[in-house]
Structure 1
Amino acid sequence: MDATIAAYDEVAARYAELFRDSLAGQVLDRAAFTAFAELVRSSGPGPGPVAEAGCGPGHVTAHLRDLGLDAFGVDLSPAMIAIARRTHPGIRFDLGPMDALDAPAGTLGGIVAWYSLIHLPPDELPRHLAAFHRALRPGGCLLLGFFASDAENGPVTGFDHKVAPAHRWPVDALAALATATGFTEAGRLRRPPDDGERFPQARLLLRRTA
């Protein structure tokens, strides 16, 4: 991951500018976040804080806060965390790995991993899903955003991401990994690429089995 961290540090300012208003024109993405927020709130009284794992410059974390969630962000890139803290001074942003969130086990109401797991080697994904499962409270929610394979049951495919090497995941395969980890699928969304996008996009909404 050292090369990925260095690559994101190098483009942090440009990346933050590019994605600052990226949710404004994405009706389906905003709907996914709204559904996630409602499920978190319905998971029980005092649902607990929500972590964005791999938060980058913090725009998604800020959107989660706007939806009424007690959200904080975590990222391995010092440059990204510096931008997030500067841009959103009222929000907590931690420098650290996605699989070691600074929260006691079983306390988080939700976790969002929005295009952050894509940079992991495929054999690392089960370990990260297990870490998310440990951090979530029973009934807590996990929202994944990622590049989809051309077929829902096709192979995991590496590609030349503009910042660092990444993978496209078949939706069925990623859902199966999550289910094997102890999650229950609450919903999925797969859409064709918009203008300027190269690949289909997918979202998986999951709950930690109570």
Structure 2
Amino acid sequence: MKTLENLLQRNRNWAASVHADDPDFFAKLENQQMPQYLWIGCSDSRVPANQITGLAPGEVFVHRNVANVVAETDFNLLAVLQYAVDVLKVRHIIVCGHYGCGGVRAALENFRHGMIDNWLSGIRALRRVHREELDALPPEAASDRLCELNVLAQASHVARTTIVEDAWERGQEIFVHSWIYRLDNGIILPLRPAIKAPLNNLD
């Protein structure tokens, strides 16, 4: 197990390596951030946004929570979303879940887990809507399918926020993506084409 001092040393090593490769990197980073992407992902430590997309610090604005939930009552998420859209002017909002998500698996189970059940209530509702499809699958496949359905639902929630709808109304170009990450091979899979206009205007 790595000690805190070990982490600090690793940080110093990283900073020295970055500076050696690009002496101006931190000076440029200090003065501005201009990410093109907002990443809404799961808190799972195996799914770090920058690393799995190969992006450097300053290139992606990140919000993470258990099971990549987008809830209209989550002011933390909404504050991040508004800042990303209105101030940073990101063009791409990526909702990225992952197969084997513990939060989604918990939503499939029929016993209480504590306070987390309140957070997962929307995924449980999604499970009820798709019960027939999910019940026809083996447990692991059902969990993976619910992971996909959850990503699709949360991306739709993003598109239906007044923040994104207002941005589209004023002509701002925003694409909302639905992605899922495979832990077994490190590959990200798009689940559907990006949403680029209000959902009620789409066929």
Q: Sort the TM-score into its range (normalised by shorter chain).
A: 0.3 to 0.5
Normalised by the size of structure 1, how large is the TM-score? 0.31
Determine which structure has the larger helix proportion and give its number. Answer: 2
Normalised by the size of structure 2, how large is the TM-score? 0.32
Determine which structure has the larger strand proportion and give its number. Answer: 1
